[in-house]
Amino acid sequence: WDLNLIEQSARVAAIEASAQGLNWTFAPMIDVTRDARWGRVMEGSGEDPYLGAVIGVARVKGFQGEDLGAHDTIAATIKHFAGYGFVEAGKDYNTVEIGTVTLFNTVLQPFRDVFEATNPRSVMNAFNTVNGIPATGDQALQRDLLKGEWGFDGVMVSDWASAIELVDHGFAEDSRHAAYISIAAGCDVDMESYVYLDHLEELVESGEVDIALVDDAVRRTLRLKFELGLFDDPYRYLDADRERQTLLADAHLETSLNMARKSIVLLKNEGNALPLK
CB proximity list for 254: less than 8 A, separation 6 or greater = none
* pLDDT at position 243: 96
> What is the per-residue pLDDT across 99-134, written as a single tens digit (0 to 9) for each?
999 999 999 999 999 999 999 999 999 999 999 999
pLDDT at 267 over 90: no
Answer for the pair 123, 165: CB distance below 8 angstroms, yes or no: no
Annotated catalytic residue within 113, 138, 159, 188: 159
pLDDT at 48 over 80: yes
The verdict on whether 233 is a catalytic residue reads: no
* pLDDT at position 270: 87
What SS3 state is found at 193? Answer: coil
* pLDDT at position 1: 84
Answer for the pair 120, 78: CB distance below 8 angstroms, yes or no: yes
* Confidence tier at 22 by pLDDT (50, 70, 90): very high
pLDDT at 277 over 80: no
Percent of the chain at pLDDT exceeding 90: 92
* pLDDT at position 6: 97
Stated pTM of the model: 0.94
Q: In terms of pLDDT, which residue wins out, 156 or 238? A: 156
What type of residue sits at position 105?
N
* pLDDT at position 274: 84
